Structure 1
């Protein structure tokens, strides 16, 4: 039974009020090819709940899940071991059902969790402050671009070719509505990022330079040099971190001159979850704090001198006049932020550094094994737990063939950049603490078999 609380007359009145001739006009921004003009072909008109459950179970059985096969996928979503205590603690009732802390006096636990989370993110990123989280890494990246525009009063952002294409796509979509200009480029298949070309693109109209660290090919850009060049032209440096575990091994972006640091927190405490929900991280210099979107939880004392927690800053439309808001971000990813914070607490600083070293060691072992496969070239000079290999065949085909052999072998750049034929032979490979020697052997052995005759394809 469908729930339609409005009558046709009420819907028509609402459309007249907003100036739309029909409901279809509300979807004018959705491309025609993405709209349905009728029922989905092949789907039954109705089915019982049990029949649907059985059908979905059969479809799910065709999947090759992350925990059941050698797993080398990454590119912004990573498989790490999550201690059982993380899931146990976030399911406590006082955390699981907590909502926005509109009344600080009765939301002290929630505010304290956010305060501790902010402290951890600020230390991880090397920034003065961090907010109480955002939706995910891509939207946090866009918020950093518009924040830089408010600070510099400029409308042009230079995006590195090493920035994840999904982040670029999100920024491109949002820039349509703000009038911002985005200077974008494709990544080049070189051993190190082309920092010189990126620096050359900075001019007097640039509000910020957006650089992923490590980048989408696993390479490590020289943030200090880029920051110096950006600051010399009055622009800001926005650093994007999609793999926070890497910061246990390489210097924090804020320490290298980044003005705003954003990223994806999924790696710590949050599972792959079929692509979401994830966790946006956001930190910046203290002098820019009033331009930072989202919420900022702070610590204070009450009238009796006892420690208490408050919303120190909340420059969003639900708290202040709409025209004064820095963002329409409505809710931080509270439960994911808690999971991140618990995992970080369990690791501690030394534990994070050790975890990063293990990840790097696993990646080195994987790279060395693949480098011995005839026809395979490891691209990177430096990396943490993610690197790129160049293959003599289209990587998309090889990824599918590897999956048929029970190995999730990596993310093809042809999948990320389908329009760039020059990138189709590149494969992004990720190794973490969950990668075993047997996993590495399986990937290298099966890949070698598949490449025995690159003209014939899969061997018999």
Structure 2
């Protein structure tokens, strides 16, 4: 039986209080064509549990499992091997059920885990400090922009053309409610990122410059040069890392001058998981700590001088006056942060470097083989485990035909940038330690067949 505690009179009183004529007024921001006028066509009003299970299983069977076919998708979500010990640790009762550590005396384990996680992220990013995680990379990017605006007291943000378009969409959506001026530079299909265009866009009124590293096409921008130019104008540099494994080989953004570093932690410990839940990473310079969103766990000693952990900084409106809050994020992605930390602990610094080297080698083998196919060329010579190929026809059609042949052959730039006609022949291909020689050869043969 459905539980409906509110009466029609209750609802009418609530609508009157907020000044709405009907419940429909609460959904005016949702386009009319996206709203349902009634029940979904074709769905029964009720069904047995067995019937629902049978139907949902049949629907799920239409999916292609990432591990069942050659897999070369990336573009911000990467298939890596997650050791079984990661899942074993995060499912322990003291972690799986642990909630927000409001009372440090009974949450020492959770607080220590988050403290160790912060330490790992700060070292990985080359920043002084890191918070206890956020929802995902895109929302962390927006929070960084807000943070930069508070620090600089300016409201203009430059998004480089190499930023993932989904991150850009999140930023522009949120900026609708803050009146921030977001300048989005175009994405050019060139072998080198247009660092000069980013530098030229920085003005005296610029609060921050957002640069993805490596960028959405797999290229590696010159963060040091951009950081120098931004500093000269009083702007902050926000580096976005969607593939943290890359930092096992390339220099950490904080060491190249980035003031705030954010990213997506999915690659380590979390897995693809059909798009979520994921893990937002956030680090910055220590002098900006009081403007950092989210939570910060710290180390201290108790009354007996024993080592202990506390919630040192919490900047959301539930804990402090609303007007003083730096974030409305309600919680950190604690379990995903734990998975990230366990995986990175198992790897260690040397293990991460070796994993990164294997990823790069697999990507080299992939693009070298595919570039031998007539009509296929490599756009960028410098990359980590993801690079852009130029095809002789629209890559969206090619990707669909490859999927019919049981090969998940990359992400078409036409899918990421549907409005940019000049990018539609681009195919973003990612390879990781899970990519085998057989996968590469299958991809190459099927791509040859599709392009023939």
Q: Which residue of 2 aligns with 1:89?
A: 89
Q: Which residue of 2 aligns with 1:104?
A: 104
Q: Structure 2 CA distance, aligned partners of 1:107 and 1:427?
A: 47
Using the TM superposition, name which of 26-35 and 221-230 deviates more. Answer: 26-35
Q: Does 1:150 align with 2:150?
A: yes
Q: Does 1:255 align with 2:247?
A: no
Report runs of 4+ in structure 1 exceeding 2 Å deviation.
none
Q: Structure 1 CA distance, aligned partners of 2:176 and 2:393?
A: 37
Q: Which residue of 1 aligns with 2:407?
A: 407
Q: Which residue of 1 aligns with 2:178?
A: 178
Q: SS of the residue aligned with 1:46?
A: coil
Q: Which residue of 2 aligns with 1:457?
A: none
Q: SS of the residue aligned with 1:190?
A: coil
Deviation for aligned residue 1:301: 0.4
Deviation for aligned residue 1:185: 2.4
Q: Which residue of 2 aligns with 1:57?
A: 57
Deviation for aligned residue 1:24: 1.0
Structure 2 counterparts to residues 14-413 of structure 1, below 5 A: 14-413=14-413
Q: Structure 1 CA distance, aligned partners of 2:239 and 2:118?
A: 17
Deviation for aligned residue 1:210: 0.1
Residue by residue over 1:59-116, the C-alpha shift from the partner in whole angstroms, topping out at 9 and shown as x without a partner, is 1111111010000000000100000000000000000001101111111100000000
Q: Which residue of 2 aligns with 1:456?
A: none
Deviation for aligned residue 1:19: 1.2
What is the number of equivalent residue pairs in this alignment?
Answer: 452
Q: Which residue of 1 aligns with 2:6?
A: 6
Deviation for aligned residue 1:186: 2.7
Q: Structure 2 CA distance, aligned partners of 1:44 and 1:369?
A: 50
2:160–2:198: 8 Å Cα contact kept in structure 1? yes
Q: SS of the residue aligned with 1:178?
A: coil
Q: Which runs of 5+ in 2 are unaligned?
A: none
Q: SS of the residue aligned with 2:176?
A: helix
Deviation for aligned residue 1:212: 0.3
Residue by residue over 1:343-398, the C-alpha shift from the partner in whole angstroms, topping out at 9 and shown as x without a partner, is 00000000000000000000000010011000001101200000000101111111
Q: SS of the residue aligned with 2:113?
A: helix
Provide TM-score, normalisation by structure 2.
0.99
Q: Structure 1 CA distance, aligned partners of 2:379 and 2:217?
A: 9
Q: Structure 2 CA distance, aligned partners of 1:282 and 1:118?
A: 9
Deviation for aligned residue 1:26: 1.1
2:185–2:198: 8 Å Cα contact kept in structure 1? no
RMSD: 0.7
Provide TM-score, normalisation by structure 1.
0.97
Q: Structure 1 CA distance, aligned partners of 2:36 and 2:204?
A: 45
Deviation for aligned residue 1:443: 0.6
Q: Structure 1 CA distance, aligned partners of 2:30 and 2:188?
A: 32
Deviation for aligned residue 1:4: 1.4
Deviation for aligned residue 1:449: 1.3
Q: Structure 1 CA distance, aligned partners of 2:195 and 2:32?
A: 39
